[in-house]
């Protein structure tokens, strides 16, 4: 892989931040919990649509746009895994899986299928709203000057968040996009695990290494020529990850004349 290149361009910036009112779809078959989710999010000023099964959720997602989906996994008719599969690779909506299944394998599977976060029941209203704010912040980062970082066949526009491989735009979830932009912003340098978690997910996620491993693997599957031998998103043992090759070492100074 050739070295990393930075190219300045002048595209329109991304949305500078989330709107005050979000469009939220609540998908939960438990009537009492569904009512709590609706009242909590509506009290925060959001527009909420609530359904009790996966088929109704699929219809709503096809009928209108949403910013965030609060998705239960154990749904009647069509389960949450199927809905995650249908949403895979979309910029919006951001998806928070809400599930009584607190096992690590379920969390990893949900993240693997494209969920942006996973919230195990029970949880408090403040934690729920904080997670909603966090996923929307990742989907709508602050505007910055547009600059393209190129590494091999992959181009990452730091301003718009667009990612291309061999000239074709790659479909990424909001969190995948935020992670690759953060890595590309520091191309050629190692970014440690805690810094990536803090900057992409937020300070409360600094110890969630499983999130980082899962999303790095998803990016490799979409961007690497050979995901089993990554050359674009490189693991630096016990330190973190690096986007693209390391810069060449400085040339030694020529010997002084006698």
pLDDT in tens, 8-21: 433 333 343 444 79
Q: CATH for 5-13+142-243, among 2.60.40.10, 1.10.10.10, 3.40.190.10, 1.10.3720.10?
A: 1.10.10.10
- DSSP result, 199-232: III-GGGTT-HHHHHHHHHHHHHHH-SSTTS-SS
Say how many residues make up the chain: 258
Question: Taking 90 as the threshold, does the pLDDT of residue 128 lie above it?
Answer: yes
CB 62 within 8 A of CB 118: no
Instruction: Spell out the alpha helix ranges (H) of 53-103.
Output: 54-63, 80-87
- Taking the alpha carbons of 96, 73, 65, 21 in that order, is the dihedral positive or negative? negative
pTM of the model: 0.73
Q: Where are the beta strands (DSSP E) in the chain?
A: 5-8, 23-27, 47-51, 68-72, 94-99, 117-120, 147-151, 154-157, 163-165, 168-169, 190-192, 233-236, 240-243
Q: Residue 223 corresponds to which tokens in the numbers above?
A: 């961007």
Residue 145 CB partners (closer than 8 Å, separation 6+): 8, 13, 158, 159
Torsion angles phi and psi, residue 3, rounded to 5:
-65, 170
Mean pLDDT of 61-72: 93
Least confident stretch, 81-85, 101-105, 241-245 = 101-105
Query: What are the extents of the domains in the chain?
Result: 5-13+142-243, 23-139
Task: Determine the Cα–Cα distance for residues 224 and 254; give it in Å rounded to an integer.
Answer: 39
Question: Taking 80 as the threshold, does the pLDDT of residue 199 lie above it?
Answer: yes
Model confidence band, residue 140 (pLDDT cutoffs 50, 70, 90): confident
Is 5-13+142-243's fold the same as 23-139's?
Answer: no
Task: Determine the Cα–Cα distance for residues 86 and 95; give it in Å rounded to an integer.
Answer: 12
Evaluate whether the domain defined by 23-139 bears CATH number 1.10.510.10.
no
Tokens 């899986």 map to which residue?
97
Mean pLDDT of 214-241: 94
What is the chain's mean pLDDT, rounded? 85
Q: Where are the beta strands (DSSP E) in 73-132?
A: 94-99, 117-120
Question: Taking 60 as the threshold, does the pLDDT of residue 93 lie above it?
Answer: yes
Question: Taking 90 as the threshold, does the pLDDT of residue 217 lie above it?
Answer: yes
**β-strand partners of 161:** none
Task: Determine the Cα–Cα distance for residues 230 and 183; give it in Å rounded to an integer.
Answer: 14
Task: Determine the Cα–Cα distance for residues 227 and 246; give it in Å rounded to an integer.
Answer: 18
């Amino acid at each position: 892989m050739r070295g990393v290149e930075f190219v300045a361009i002048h595209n329109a910036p991304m949305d500078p931040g989330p709107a005050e009112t979000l469009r939220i779809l609540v998908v939960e078959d438990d009537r009492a919990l569904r009512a709590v989710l609706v009242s909590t999010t509506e009290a925060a000023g959001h527009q909420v649509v609530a359904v009790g099964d996966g088929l109704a959720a699929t219809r709503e997602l096809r009928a209108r746009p949403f910013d965030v989906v609060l998705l239960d996994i154990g749904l009647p008719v069509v389960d949450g895994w199927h809905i995650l599969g249908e949403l895979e690779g979309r910029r919006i909506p951001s998806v928070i899986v809400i599930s009584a299944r607190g096992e690590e394998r379920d969390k990893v599977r949900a993240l693997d299928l494209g969920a942006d976060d996973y919230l195990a029941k029970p949880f408090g209203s403040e934690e729920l709203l904080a997670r909603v704010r966090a996923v929307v912040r990742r989907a709508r980062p602050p505007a910055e000057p547009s600059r393209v970082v190129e590494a091999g066949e992959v181009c990452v526009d730091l301003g718009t968040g667009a990612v291309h491989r061999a000239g074709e735009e790659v479909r990424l979830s909001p969190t995948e996009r935020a992670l690759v932009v953060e890595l590309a912003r520091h191309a050629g340098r190692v970014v440690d695990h805690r810094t990536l978690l803090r900057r992409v997910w937020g300070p409360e996620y600094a110890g969630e290494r499983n999130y980082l491993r899962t999303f790095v693997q998803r990016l490799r599957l979409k961007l690497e020529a050979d995901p089993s031998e990554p050359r674009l998103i490189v693991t630096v043992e016990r330190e973190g990850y690096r986007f693209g090759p390391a810069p060449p070492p400085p040339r030694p100074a020529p010997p002084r004349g006698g």
